[in-house]
Amino acid sequence: MENQLNIFFTIDENYIQHFTVTLTSILENNKDLSIRVFVIHDLKKISILNRASNFIKKRYGVTLELYSLNPKLFEEFKITDHVSKATYFRLLLTEIIPNDVNYGLFIDSDIVVTGPLRYFSQINFDNSCNSNSLFAVKDDDIVNVKRLNSLGFETMKYFNAGVMYINLKAWRNEKAPQHLIQIAEEFKQELLWWDQDVLNMFFYDKWSPLPFVYNAFALQEKMPNLPVVIHYTGSFKPWDYNNNHPYRYLYFKYLKITPYKFYNPFFYTYKKRIVGKIKKIFNVKNKQ
The pLDDT, as a whole number, for residue 124 is 78
Percentage of residues in the chain having pLDDT higher than 90 = 70
On the question of pLDDT at 130 being above 90, the answer is no
The pLDDT, as a whole number, for residue 78 is 55
CA distance 282 to 285: 5
Task: Indicate the range of 82-91, 187-196, 262-271 predicted with least confidence.
Answer: 82-91
Task: Read off φ and ψ for residue 206, nearest 5 degrees.
Answer: -130, 30
User: Mean pLDDT in the chain?
Assistant: 88
93 pLDDT band (50/70/90 cuts)?
very high
Number of other CB atoms surrounding residue 89 within 10 Å: 24
Strand order in the sheet with 103-107: 65-68, 34-41, 4-11, 103-107, 159-167, 134-138, 207-209
68-82: pLDDT as tens digits: 976 566 666 555 554
Q: pTM of whole model > 0.85?
A: yes
On the question of pLDDT at 89 being above 80, the answer is yes
Q: In the chain, what are the domains?
A: 4-287 (3.90.550.10)
22-48: pLDDT as tens digits: 999 999 999 999 999 999 998 989 999
| Average pLDDT estimate for 141-154 | 93
